[in-house]
Structure 1
Amino acid sequence: MATPMLQSAAELLETSEPALRLIISILIGYPLALVSRYCLFKKDVFLIHLFHTLTGLWIAYFNFGFQLFHSFLCILVQFLFLRLMGRTVTAVGSSFIFQMGYLLTGYYYTATDHYDIKWTMPHCVLTLKLIGLSLDYYDGGKDEGKLNAEQKVSALRHVPSFSEVCGFAYFYGGFLVGPQFTLRSYQWLVAGELTDCPGQPPNSIVPAIRRFSLGLVCLAIYTIGSPYLTDSYLLSDDYANQPFWYRCLYILIWGKVTLYKYVSCWLIAEGVCILSGLGYNGHDSAGVVLWDACANMKVWQYETTPLFTGTIASFNINTNAWVARQVFKRLKFLGNKMFSQAAALFFLAIWHGLHSGYVLCFSMEFLIVTVERQVEALIKDSPTLTTLTQNMFLRPILYVVQQLIHWLFMGYPLVAFCLFTWDKWSKVYSSVYYCGHIFFLVLLFATPFLRRVLVPKKIKENKSQ
């Protein structure tokens, strides 16, 4: 689907044509949201579903040509599961197996050793939507007393129509890069209920512009920095010949800039959702209108937290919330929180793709989070460490050191995530002597011994009771 005009524009901007098509497709959501606000608000629901379906199909065709049939086929099959199998475990299992199987098969047949923008990119977003749809429909058949608070909000009491499922799946604000949202939220949007002015379009233009502007800032940082901080340089002899401190610093800065690629897309897409009304999230305790229902980023927390768990909680929020709701919490029957977390992270790894780098990345996340929680508990229980960390003169120094460690080892697992294959990521990790693996494994086994020395016996006894 290459076109001379887009090719020329991509060359001028020093990017690829698929990447340019992706950005254009996300940005086109803003005029589409304006059409929805001023022409379709409170109109016939079938007309709104049709608008969302046709615009989503056009976006799919613009980016991937006739490969859009992959998404349409999976939507059709999912609808048939709902209609023919009903609210059964069989329907949920069939949905999960088919949708994940289709996605993984797509990964297998389209895989390369570098990142490509192809039909599997939006399809992974769609896969979660459709699996979540089957689970929410299944929950709709349970007694309300057996549902948790989240399930009560998202449960579907009636089987959706085909036009409704298509509109939900192809909605222009979330088709390509997310965010994840439930069919119930989509139904409220179509009904005109997601507004701070009942009966009128929401006052969401200014909040949408704010997220759009912040997204452009992040996109500018990535666009300016990425040509100087490339994945290929990590594999070069020049990088390998640099001093150890330089190699670590490069990973730190490279990782930070690379993540802005995802941050910028999510922020711009969130602005579309806010403009349409989907971002409406009621009011806070002070009566201020909230527009964060589709927030995939907590930017201030992301930029300032020195904790790995803080960054994870502020990054790709809706996808993480989906996995927490539909995978982690549904594995409660395992009786072990750590097993449930490991299974959820493994699901996230294979959902991203079949490359070994994804499994390693999320394995490192599991290790890092486990160690961080152990260290936090140690500091909290040790009077000596608590006094040190709360010292007003030491706190700024400790914060800087903690941030350096934090961002170095945020970039460290990202190496495997971005380089995909064992021969590539192992080369980079070898060049820095697997310092991340060693650092956290040493802490993992050292922390229990440090507790024996630094935590008073009385506190240990209270903890064990």
Structure 2
Amino acid sequence: MAAPSLQKLAESLGAPEPALRLLISILIGYPCALVYRRFLFYQPPTVLHLFHTLFGLALAAFNFGTQLSHSAVCILVQFLMLRLMGRTITTVISSFTFQMIYLLAGYYYTATEEYDIKWTMPQCVLALKLIGLAWDYYDGGQENLSPEQKKSALSSVPSLLEMFGFSYFYGGFLVGPQFTLRSYQRLVAGELTDCPGKPPNSLFPALKRFSLGFLCCALYTIFNPSYPDSYFSTDEFEAQPFWYRCIFILLWAKFNLYKYVSCWVIAEGACILTGLGYNGVDEKGQHQWDACANMKVFLFETTPLFQGTIASFNINTNAWAARHVFKRLRFLGNKTISHVTTLFFLAIWHGLHSGYLMCFSMEFFIVILERQAQALVRDSPSLTRLANSSLYPLIYLVQQFFHWFLMGYSLMPFGLFSYDKWLKVYLSVYFCGHICLIITFLTLPYLRKALVPRKDRSAKKQE
């Protein structure tokens, strides 16, 4: 499709042209997967690597033109590091340093005050892939690995073509999901199937995820124009009543997140169609297709807990951070330091704007307080009875309201980026989210003293 025609189509849909290009590119993963299943499933790995590389490069060129060279350079440098530096911790450190500096430099030189779809978007996905690859190669020479590490450890250096195929795989190059090279190797070997020796019976599971992703995309398209980021900066927003501003923040977050949900779920469907999403069988003997799941949409929509939202959102990236940052910091002997370091890494991985740091800082404090509140309910007989009573539906609605408000309150800096913008919004709602968290922090100890029997408190202290 010619660029002018694509631009006209974008204008008629009321969407930016880069966003339309991205959506088309994600959807192209489905015909690519069908070609693989119909014509290439029995071909040797070299042919499949070449197929994945060429189609991935075509998608990169369609979206970013000559800027696809950034990803190619990083893959080539990563390959040379593995080949020349060997299976050493120096390789891991060098890989982490180079990939992150390259990504952050990209953020710095392309930064704007708006959310833009540019070459740094797939680059941040690629950076995690290549850093994880270095760790997996290092683990391949170690002993006493965890079952998780054994599953992804590499016995040898991949070829350059294999690395390109892994990195440019059309199902995950642009928006994820994250997956290991071992999973990719199993895919090209024809092992990720519920029918040994044949293409997987994954058409229906793939269509289910596509349909769900399309629904989320429709919800975003319908409702998001009513809750634009730009409205936060207007005098009209300032003139609204306090309660209206709070509700706007809640609804803005709710509908704004659908742009991520829809892209991830649609991309997951293409991965399922190829077989990459195959995850063996469960305890009941049912075949699972959630190996590439980046969203648990039902949990995302129904959980009243901040921790539940985190567990349902961007799952593969969170799992990558847990595996390659949080758990690698075990030598520090302090989970809190590991947790803070992991969140700081995720903040700068997203970009250099202050809004990212504020968002992940809020996440840390909310999760800590939520865990303390859950422990209080669990340890207090009266609160436990209340939580299990007929009043729970009402409690759930109230809890869900505060959950989504604090979610929007935390995400707002993430969406507005710069300090002057998100600070203005916080001032307009009188930092009510921060005040709520401070009051909760100060009152929880007194509530525990009042509501938890003394013997239970003593037992907890001894533990």
1:67 corresponds in structure 2 to 67
State yes or no: 1:189 paired with 2:187: yes
2:401 corresponds in structure 1 to 404
Partner Cα separation in structure 2 for residue 303 and residue 168 of structure 1: 32
1:37 corresponds in structure 2 to 37
1:162 corresponds in structure 2 to 160
Partner Cα separation in structure 2 for residue 45 and residue 390 of structure 1: 55
- TM-superposition CA deviations, 1:33-87 (whole Å, max 9, x none): 0111111112111110000011000100000000000000000000001000111
Partner Cα separation in structure 2 for residue 236 and residue 367 of structure 1: 30
Compute the displacement of 1:331 (Å). Answer: 0.6
The structure 2 residue matched to 1:264, chosen from 262, 265, 286, is: 262
Residues 2 and 247 of structure 1: CA distance in aligned 2, closer, same or farther (over 3 Å): farther
Q: SS where residue 28 of structure 1 aligns?
A: helix
Residue pair 1:2, 1:17 contacting (<8 A) in 2 also: no
Which amino acid is the alignment partner of residue 36 of structure 1? Y
1:235 corresponds in structure 2 to 233
2:79 corresponds in structure 1 to 79
Partner Cα separation in structure 2 for residue 268 and residue 213 of structure 1: 8
Q: SS where residue 116 of structure 1 aligns?
A: coil
1:381 corresponds in structure 2 to 379
State yes or no: 1:431 paired with 2:389: no
Q: SS where residue 117 of structure 1 aligns?
A: coil
Partner Cα separation in structure 2 for residue 226 and residue 314 of structure 1: 21
Residue pair 1:378, 1:451 contacting (<8 A) in 2 also: yes
1:98 corresponds in structure 2 to 98
Partner Cα separation in structure 1 for residue 135 and residue 2 of structure 2: 39
The structure 2 residue matched to 1:174, chosen from 172, 193, 197, is: 172
Which amino acid is the alignment partner of residue 443 of structure 1? T
Moved over 2 A (4+): none
2:139 corresponds in structure 1 to 139
Compute the displacement of 1:449 (Å). Answer: 2.3
Q: How does 1:295-310 map to 2 (within 5 A)?
A: 295-310=293-308
Compute the displacement of 1:2 (Å). Answer: 8.4
1:338 corresponds in structure 2 to 336
Superposed CA RMSD in Å reads 1.0
TM-score, structure 2 normalization? 0.99
Which amino acid is the alignment partner of residue 90 of structure 1? T
2:365 corresponds in structure 1 to 367
2:413 corresponds in structure 1 to 416
Please say which of residues 426-435 and 449-458 is displaced more in the overlay.
449-458
Partner Cα separation in structure 1 for residue 446 and residue 53 of structure 2: 59
Aligned pair count reads 462
Which amino acid is the alignment partner of residue 463 of structure 1? K
Compute the displacement of 1:445 (Å). Answer: 2.6
Compute the displacement of 1:157 (Å). Answer: 1.0
Unaligned runs of 5+ residues in structure 2 are none
Partner Cα separation in structure 2 for residue 103 and residue 227 of structure 1: 31
TM-score, structure 1 normalization? 0.98
Residue pair 1:42, 1:190 contacting (<8 A) in 2 also: no
Q: SS where residue 436 of structure 2 aligns?
A: helix
State yes or no: 1:53 paired with 2:50: no
Partner Cα separation in structure 2 for residue 157 and residue 290 of structure 1: 27
Identity %: 67
Partner Cα separation in structure 2 for residue 51 and residue 262 of structure 1: 27
State yes or no: 1:19 paired with 2:29: no
The structure 2 residue matched to 1:451, chosen from 448, 451, 458, is: 448
Partner Cα separation in structure 1 for residue 340 and residue 192 of structure 2: 36
Which amino acid is the alignment partner of residue 175 of structure 1? F
Residue pair 1:179, 1:294 contacting (<8 A) in 2 also: yes
Residue pair 1:34, 1:275 contacting (<8 A) in 2 also: yes
